[in-house]
Structure 1
Amino acid sequence: MTKIDPSSSLPSATLVDARQLRCPMPLLRAKQAMRPLAVGDQIEVRATDAGSVRDFHAYVQLAGHQMIEFIDMGDEYVYLIEKGGAV
């Protein structure tokens, strides 16, 4: 995992590249990246699996995280998620 360039449009966050991965791998990679982070830290997930849209929106609600930003670029989906304190 790498850090996003601070000059990009999104705030600094841990990048999870889940492009070309099929369900459930994008979500599993995101959960793995989220585990060591502190409450308030953010991850940016990039995925190409259309099923990830439903999965990530449900995941943040159930896990107590916050979806800061969701971008649908047609063939790629970008999620900026902030770790919550519930889980």
Structure 2
Amino acid sequence: MSIYILDARNLLCPLPVIRTQQKIANLTPKDLLEVVCTDPGVRYDIPAWCRIHGHHVRSITEKDNEIRVHIEVGNNT
């Protein structure tokens, strides 16, 4: 298991989801990805994408206008 960070700040929908998809495509199951965003839509868009593609959102945190989505990569990469 490895931990990765994706900087998706200042990107608007659908780019944070697209960048998340591109990054996860290069990861292995059980890897952890933290996506750092400023678009409030990611609170809904990334979890919906994860449900469809078999990944698990471990948490979503917000601080100082940044949203951090913590994803555990599933087997459907």
Q: Flag whether TM exceeds 0.5 (same fold).
A: yes
| 2:38 alignment partner AA | T
Matched pairs, number: 76
The residue number in structure 2 matching 1:60 is 50
Distance of aligned partners of 1:70 and 1:52 in 2 relative to their CA distance in 1, 3 Å threshold: same
Give the % identical residues: 33
Alignment pair present for 1:73 and 2:63: yes
Structure 2: how far apart are the matches of 1:70 and 1:51? 12
The residue number in structure 2 matching 1:29 is 19
CA RMSD of aligned residues (A): 1.4
The residue number in structure 2 matching 1:83 is 73
Structure 2: how far apart are the matches of 1:33 and 1:86? 13
Larger Rg: 1
- Report deviation, 1:25: 0.7
Which residue, 15, 31, 34 being the options, matches 1:41? Answer: 31
**Structure 1 residues 29-76: Cα deviation after superposition (integer angstroms, max 9, x where no partner):** 111110011111111100000111110111111111011121022611
Q: After TM superposition, where is structure 1 displaced by more than 3 Å over at least 4 residues in a row?
A: none
Q: Which runs of 5+ in 1 are unaligned?
A: 1-11
Which residue, 5, 8, 11 being the options, matches 1:15? Answer: 5
Structure 1: how far apart are the matches of 2:63 and 2:47? 16
